[in-house]
Amino acid sequence: MVNIMESVKEGMVSKNSQEYRLKKIIKNSHRSLVIGTILLILFLLASVLMVRVSDKCLENTMYLNQYRLGSKTLTYAVQAYAVTGDKHYYDDYMQELNEDRNRDIAWRGLERNDIKEQEWEALREIANFSNGLVPLEEDAMKAVESGDIGKATAFVFGTEYGDTIQKINDLTDRTIQKIQERMDREKQVILLIQAGLGFAFLIYFMHMIFQNVRTLRFSVQELLTPILKVSEQMIIMSKGNLHTRLEMEVDDSEVGQMVAAIDAMKLNLVNIIDEISFILEQMGSGNYNVTISQKYVGEFIQIKDSFLQIVEEMRHTVGTIQEASKELDGGSGQLAKAAEELAISCTSQATQVSDLMMLLDFLEQNIMSNERDAEEAVKISNTSQSVLEMSNVKLNELKGTMQSIMNAVMKLNEVMIANGEEELIRKVNSEIEKGIFITEEASANMEDVLVGAEETTGRIDNIVKNLQAEMQSIEQIQESISVVAGVVDNNSAISQETAAISEEQKSQAESLVLLLNKFHI
């Protein structure tokens, strides 16, 4: 099979190959087609020639009869005119001679056709005879014009005129017969040619039938049937069955070479599949130290390269995993120790956070107590402010009363001055002025006390607000510390769980190292 494929690559085409036989059939078909085309063209040319010869024969006969008709028309008209003297026959004669001119038309038509020289001599002789009758006809018409009917009749019915007419008719008949005979001979030759061409075309047609049957048989047996078998085989192969045998012989033909190529391809695929299956089985058992011995050709080389790359990558990967597992084994112990220390640290942090929560609770209680005391102080301050405001009102009323007393004393002074008690008036005025001074001073002091009370109340309100703000801050700190406490507790639990997982991971890492040591790279 290899030798056959190599011979195909070298371009060797044997006589047994379908290409050679198909080219031969095509060449014969082309040759037959050319011959048939030539025969058909010759047959058509012969038919056209036969039609032309027949047309010419018909035209010559028609022109000769037209020439004879023209002559007879002139003869009949002149004879009738000579006998009857009727002007009508004279007009017919002149019309034929000058207008209808059948003889001239026939002569020009004969000139266009293939008339032989001997035939032209006969025609010219007929024309000479016809021209020889013209003087007799003219004499007859002159005699008629002069009224001598007998003389006119003698010219056109005489022996000379009758003999000439007879000669013209006989010569015309012979000429027509000779032309027809010549044309008949030409038609017979053409008919023989047509018959020969028809017989040759019949032989060609039978040959074409034989050639078509041969081509059809070759197409069915040598092309269609092998193609169907190969197609069926390829369908079976496409379904993954590579162990079926193609029931066709291997030879030096294209089909045989194709069968050899298919068998070689199936064998190569089976060998490749077996080798790949074996290598995958070895890799499945952990042995990556494998080699590829099967010969990969064409695009199968890509499979080999890809497979070698996969094996190399797997070796590198497994080696890397082994090294990483060893490092993981060493690092898992450190992770377990660190997780344990983290658990201890998280527990300590949880204790400290708990103590901080207790201190914050104590501080919150003190702030709440101070807030309550401040609120009581605000209430007392508000009450004192109310009392001071009432006292201020009373002092204002007292100032009005003192002013009324002063007015009354001034009236009393007038009375007492009139009575001469000036010393008493001075004492009373002095006491009254002292009372007014004290009242005004007390009112001024009361205003200062009211201002101080309002300022004290405002400061106490600010203290209460600050204490409330501190309470809110303490509450936020408590919430934050609660979250931190939860996180710390969660971290403590997670760290303890991590420590347990780290211990388990260490055990699994040791198992992984033992498992990876089974791979051979």
pLDDT range class, residue 8, cuts 50, 70, 90: very low
Q: What is the pLDDT of residue 463?
A: 72
Output the CA–CA distances (angstroms, integers) from residue 384 to 83, 371, 390, 447, in the order listed: 187, 20, 10, 13
Q: What is the pLDDT of residue 11?
A: 46
Q: For residue 29, which of 287, 214, 239 has the smallest C-alpha distance?
A: 214
pTM tops 0.85, yes or no: no
pLDDT in tens, 253-286: 777 777 777 777 777 777 878 888 877 887 777 7
pLDDT in tens, 407-462: 776 776 676 677 766 776 777 677 777 767 776 776 676 677 667 667 767 776 77
Cβ(1)–Cβ(250) below 8 Å: yes
Q: For residue 96, which of 60, 134, 62, 129 has the smallest C-alpha distance?
A: 134
**Does position 193 have pLDDT exceeding 80, yes or no?**
yes
Q: What is the pLDDT of residue 227?
A: 78
- What average pLDDT score do residues 88-99 get? 86
Q: Name the DSSP class of 244.
A: P
pLDDT in tens, 114-148: 788 888 888 888 888 888 888 888 888 888 888 88
**Does position 349 have pLDDT exceeding 60, yes or no?**
yes
- What average pLDDT score do residues 383-403 get? 71
Q: Among 3.40.50.10490, 1.10.287.950, 2.170.150.20, 3.20.20.140, name the CATH number for the domain at 312-392+443-516.
A: 1.10.287.950
Cβ(39)–Cβ(200) below 8 Å: yes
- What average pLDDT score do residues 185-189 get? 86
Give the whole-number percent of the chain exceeding pLDDT 90. Answer: 0
Could you tell me which residue, 5 or 378, shows the higher pLDDT? 378
pLDDT in tens, 294-348: 777 777 777 777 867 777 777 777 677 767 667 766 766 665 576 567 667 767 7
* Structural tokens at position 314: 């797997």
| Whole-angstrom distance, CA of residue 184 vs CA of residue 178 | 10
Cβ(31)–Cβ(204) below 8 Å: no
Angle of CA points 383, 384, 387, to nearest 5°: 90
* Structural tokens at position 13: 């085409």
Residue type at 162 in one-letter notation: G
Output the CA–CA distances (angstroms, integers) from residue 485 to 339, 480, 497, in the order listed: 19, 8, 18
Q: Rounded mean pLDDT of the chain? A: 76
pLDDT range class, residue 85, cuts 50, 70, 90: confident
**Does position 182 have pLDDT exceeding 60, yes or no?**
yes
Say how far residue 292 (Cα) sits from the centre of its chain: 43
pLDDT range class, residue 495, cuts 50, 70, 90: low
Q: What is the pLDDT of residue 71?
A: 81
Q: What are phi and psi of 520, to 5 degrees?
A: -110, 115
Cβ(281)–Cβ(515) below 8 Å: no
**Does position 94 have pLDDT exceeding 80, yes or no?**
yes
**Does position 70 have pLDDT exceeding 70, yes or no?**
yes
- What average pLDDT score do residues 218-240 get? 77
Q: What is the pLDDT of residue 459?
A: 76
Neighbours of 144 (CB within 10 A): 25
Q: Which residue has the tokens 């501080």?
A: 363
